[in-house]
Amino acid sequence: MARPEERLEKAVRAAEQALIEFEIAVETFRVEVENFSRLHERKLGPLYLRIEELDALIAEAKAARTGDPEDIRLAEEARARVLPIPGVEELLNGWMDGHGLFPEAAAMLTDQAVRPPQRVRPSEEARRLYRELARKAHPDLAQEETERQRREEFITRVNAAYALGDVQLLGELAEEWAAGPVLAEPEPSPADELYARLEWLTQRKELLTMVAKELEDGAIAGMLRLAPDDPDGLLDEVAARLRTDIEERERELAGLRAQE
């Protein structure tokens, strides 16, 4: 005869697995968005800055030629839109953190080759290893607090390796987990504990849903949706259009300066 808590236990286990799969999906999407945002800034940021600078120079050249108050106002507004020269703290932003210089910054200062930006998505092998590790070692599968802490520390390392797309490190982590302690199956929980856990799983799912929505509503995710199969190619297309815009503005500026 089945125990009274059996159906509830099955519901909790199903909810745990569903939550883990959802967390894997959200984390995968978060990594894609962050990597794409980084690539967007590196590839397109300087081009946008150049366009803003050229717009300011063109407006200033027109104002200097006409002396019209409206042209002067437009020139001042265009110049105000150009990012100011950063201070020391802003200069260090993106170059170093509490652990020192980022590898890219160190390479530039020592005349070494700069590591190219990572692709938007980790490789298929990295994604496979990440999913397997997340399903096996997820903290939500632990009942004891000590085991939960062990899993949380391990998953933190897994997430960091996945964010870097480091297949070798993910493989090493998989071996480490496989060689870890074999834990006994947890004893069946009383009904009240099962209900409490089911409620916690529901709350966790709601929180992740909010995180996923925030990511999906962002501008970077919107660009990703335009070219889900080749986001890197989309950046190259946008960069090409921006370079064309820059060339047109440079010609316009040269023409204005030739009239001075």
pLDDT per residue rounded down to tens, the chain (260 residues): 556 678 888 888 888 888 889 888 888 888 888 888 888 888 899 999 999 999 999 999 999 988 999 999 999 999 988 866 444 444 444 444 444 444 544 454 444 554 544 556 778 888 889 889 988 888 877 777 888 888 989 998 998 888 888 889 999 999 999 887 655 555 545 677 777 778 888 888 888 899 889 889 998 899 888 888 888 888 999 999 999 999 999 999 999 888 76
pLDDT at position 5 is 72
CA distances from 39 to 23, 58, 59, 87 (A): 24, 29, 30, 24
Q: What number of CA atoms fall less than 13 Å from residue 207's CA on the CB side?
A: 8
- Residue 156 phi/psi, 5° resolution? -60, -40
Enumerate residues 6+ apart whose C-beta is below 8 A from 81.
52, 55, 56
Give the up-direction half-sphere exposure of residue 148: CA atoms within 13 A in the CB hemisphere. Answer: 6
Do residues 44 and 235 make contact, with C-beta atoms less than 8 angstroms apart? yes
SS3 81: helix
* Predicted pLDDT at 108: 43
Asked whether the whole model's pTM tops 0.75, one would answer no
Question: How many CA atoms, within 13 angstroms, populate the side-chain half-sphere of residue 92?
Answer: 8
